[in-house]
Amino acid sequence: MISALSHLVRLGRAGFVFAREGVLGLADPAALPFPAQTAVRLARLVERPSSDSKRGRLAAAFTRLGPTYVKLGQFLATRPDVVGVNLAHDLESLQDKIAPFPQAEAEGVVTATLGKPLTDIYAAFGPPVAAASIAQVHRAEVVTPDGRKTVAVKVLRPNVERRFRADLEALTFAATQAENFSAEARRLRMIEAVSTLRRSVALEMDLRLEAAALSEMTENTKADPDFRVPSIDWDRTGKDVLTLEWIDGTPLYDRAALEANGFDLKHLSHTVIQTFLRHALRDGFFHADMHPGNLFVDASGTLTFVDFGIMGRLSPKERRFLAEILYGFITRNYQRVAEVHFEAGYVPAHHSVENFAQAIRAIGEPIHSRPADEISMAKLLMLLFEVTGLFDMRTRPELLLLQKTMVVVEGVARSLDPKLDMWTVSEPVVREWMERHLGPAGRIEDAATNATNFLAGMPGLMTRGAVLVEQLDAITRDGLVLAPETVAAIGQAEARRGRWMTAALWVIAALLAWAIWLLLR
């Protein structure tokens, strides 16, 4: 009871701020039940007189409510299915920029986390150069065998976990009540949406996990052209502190500086798009906060990402889904796009594939009729998610995060090259993935992998079988006596199964050897 009351107080405060900032003025009272209409009219009495523009009201409310709601607003920008396309678009401008906390507090966090005096850790430790809801970044210097080196130090805000925990518990309470009383809330999976936000924030609260994400991407991309990530200083990294290479580069939002430094902006725009798609399709692990302030190009023209707090993952099934639908739209094979949705289990089988293909055609044809520089893959995915709602496709949060990131990536790329042809630039990466994974070589490799996994699991199967025999033996010793003919029948069945298992293993081994021979030819 006390817990529910505290949640209601927190939610009530949020409701007051929404009313004060004019958010309730965005609602259409005519579409609401009479009690709700009355509540909206009363709430609008406290609306700020200056709230005369509809755009930006929701973003202003989230900013006033603090760090948790800033993160919530950024997350809802990826969920047009929940807040609507217009509000999602307004939230895209929500910036995670908060006033920095005092220098002394930052230094205290560093010394507490790393267990040494600050002067033993860094040769110099400057004031914050950027601050967000969860952490802020300082420029510092360390002494190495090669001399002094500049590093970036990310420091977690003091007590930020407690604030987020309380706010997220209140949001979970609200989502639970909504799903208890609304079928639409259950379809939108609001509890899962809050849980996704909770997991995302939890990952950001431990800077060792961000360092691990950076390390994983370094390993994934070590052979990639025109791209790299900063190196990590593991000796100066802990739960609340992350130290990494300072990037001296030109941010991609500074077009004038890029031109002054002689960079090929068209090539850079292609690199941004192809790098993102390569990470999403090939690795299933992509930077999900690719706004221009996190993207730099160094003196050699190499693209560099920073701030790995928000990452996206796609399973092999989701990567195949993404590659096939993009390739299907590129080649205008709408029937195949529809079939992929059914094969992935995203659309219930009781719907018609043909009807779904017709709906997808209604999305694809208008896009193909536009000039190349007006085609947006992100908009295509957004329209696709809108249509799939008519066919009972449940929300896929990981795909929505991908779509949101693609919106930002396209914006960055088009700021560099306004005439960018998304299909032409994306097609080589998508086609390479298709040929690699869905062509003959990919199918042989999948078969070899499956066979290897089966063989690797055989010892476990045999162990479980031996345990079962021992248990059966114990049962017979404890008084359950089987008839002689039953025991004989079981023995014959086990012998037959052993022969078949041996034969199957030889066949699998032969197929595996043949597959490896083909791959090495």
Look at 340 and 497; give whichever has higher pLDDT: 340
CB atoms within 10 A of CB 445: 17
What pLDDT sits at residue 519?
47
Average pLDDT over residues 240-261: 93
141, 265 Cβ separation under 8 angstroms = no
pLDDT band at 241; cut points 50, 70, 90: very high
Most confident of 12-21, 346-355, 449-458: 346-355
Residue 12, pLDDT > 80, answer no
What pLDDT sits at residue 474?
58
322: nearest Cα among 363, 378, 371: 378
Residue 26, pLDDT > 50, answer yes
What pLDDT sits at residue 331?
85
Phi, psi values for residue 410, rounded to 5° = -60, -40
Most confident of 21-25, 256-260, 401-405, 503-507: 256-260
Average pLDDT over residues 8-35: 70
Question: Burial, 208: exposed, middle or buried (Cβ in 10 Å; 0-12, 13-18, 19+)?
Answer: middle
pTM for the full predicted model:
0.70
Residues whose CB is less than 8 angstroms from the CB of residue 402 and which lie 6 or more positions away in sequence, other chains included: 280, 286, 288, 312, 314, 322, 381
**How far is 275 from 416, CA to CA, in rounded Å?**
15
Residue 92, pLDDT > 80, answer no
280, 314 Cβ separation under 8 angstroms = yes
What pLDDT sits at residue 194?
80
Average pLDDT over residues 305-309: 90
What pLDDT sits at residue 208?
95
**How far is 410 from 341, CA to CA, in rounded Å?**
24
Q: Facing residues of 378 across strands? A: none
**How far is 415 from 291, CA to CA, in rounded Å?**
12
Look at 15 and 362; give whichever has higher pLDDT: 362
- Predicted confidence (pLDDT) per residue in 212-226, tens digit: 999 999 999 999 988
Residue 289, pLDDT > 60, answer yes
Half-sphere exposure of 316 (CA within 13 A, CB side): 4
- Predicted confidence (pLDDT) per residue in 147-157, tens digit: 899 999 999 99
Look at 520 and 366; give whichever has higher pLDDT: 366
**How far is 495 from 489, CA to CA, in rounded Å?**
10
Q: Which residue ranges make up each domain of the chain?
A: 2-96, 97-162+204-246, 248-438, 444-520
| Catalytic residue annotation | 289
- Predicted confidence (pLDDT) per residue in 335-357, tens digit: 998 998 888 888 888 899 999 89
Q: Round to the nearest angstrom and report the end-to-end CA distance of the chain.
A: 70
Average pLDDT over residues 44-60: 65
What pLDDT sits at residue 437?
79
Q: Give the pair of three-digit tokens for residue 322.
A: 């993404």
265, 258 Cβ separation under 8 angstroms = yes
Q: What is the CATH code of the structural domain delimited by 97-162+204-246?
A: 3.30.200.20
**How far is 342 from 337, CA to CA, in rounded Å?**
9
Q: How many residues does the chain have?
A: 521
**How far is 514 from 163, CA to CA, in rounded Å?**
59
Look at 389 and 306; give whichever has higher pLDDT: 306
- Predicted confidence (pLDDT) per residue in 97-126, tens digit: 778 899 999 999 999 999 999 999 999 999
Most confident of 197-211, 253-267, 378-392: 253-267
Strand extents, DSSP E, 41-199: 124-131, 135-144, 147-156
Q: What is the mean pLDDT of the chain?
A: 79
Residues whose CB is less than 8 angstroms from the CB of residue 439 and which lie 6 or more positions away in sequence, other chains included: none
Q: Give the pair of three-digit tokens for residue 376.
A: 């947006």
Half-sphere exposure of 335 (CA within 13 A, CB side): 1
pLDDT band at 178; cut points 50, 70, 90: confident
Least confident of 310-314, 341-345, 439-443: 439-443
pLDDT band at 436; cut points 50, 70, 90: confident
Spacing of C-alpha 355 from chain mean position: 30
Residues whose CB is less than 8 angstroms from the CB of residue 31 and which lie 6 or more positions away in sequence, other chains included: none
pLDDT band at 35; cut points 50, 70, 90: low
What pLDDT sits at residue 364?
83
Q: Give the pair of three-digit tokens for residue 136.
A: 């802020």
Share of the chain above pLDDT 90, in %: 26
pLDDT band at 37; cut points 50, 70, 90: low
Share of the chain above pLDDT 70, in %: 72
Q: Give the pair of three-digit tokens for residue 456.
A: 């690797």
